[in-house]
A and B are shown apart, each in its own frame.
Chain A
């Protein structure tokens, strides 16, 4: 999986609680991405980062924030989780913006 880990791998939480998902890479790739995958929608980009402290929104960014204080870590935070955020979350990395994106193993999040 190209040196990408995600934690936790599974999480069940309640509506209204904050949740943070972590993506860690050992490849020293500049670009990191957070996607969510839902039936009927495929993979959709939430946020991405093009360097330390440099982030931008994707197509479904509402309700999510991100931070990247180190090259190797990209955090996705749900400030107040809702049931609509129940999904599988994938992190991806790429060496540059024109290179292929490689995906982490995913985190299954259930919001009750």
Chain B
């Protein structure tokens, strides 16, 4: 059975800090790993990672995948209050029809 574990479960930091969120996975026939941001509504897509060691960046957010050690990290630099959300990590099964999600990391940014 596919498994995704995220850590920490929650994190509280001050505005301007840099944070690192972790996602480890166990999945047969790995194809990709996805990061989503969930505020008070639907998860919104951030990144899809397929290649090990290749960093994906979008503004202050970046993510990298390590296929050998079976984990990914999501970095957020110069955090802002708008970054407060639950960050979800997910891996699809071989056919990509079924996403297995981690339980998420709840990030709170204090002004």
Contact = CB atoms under 8 A, between A and B. Distances in A.
A and B held together in a complex: yes
Interface stretch (A12-20, A66-74, A75-83, A101-109): A101-109
Contacts of B96: 94, 97-99
Contacts of B97: 31, 48, 50, 56, 97
Given A97-B95, A97-B96, A43 B45 contact: no
B96 to A, nearest CB: 4
Nearest to B103: A42
B99 A43 contact: yes
Interface in B43-61: 43-45, 48
Contacts, number: 48
Contacts of B101: 42-44
Interface residues of B, number: 20
Contact of B99 (A1, A50, A101): A101
B98 A1 contact: no
B32 to A, nearest CB: 8
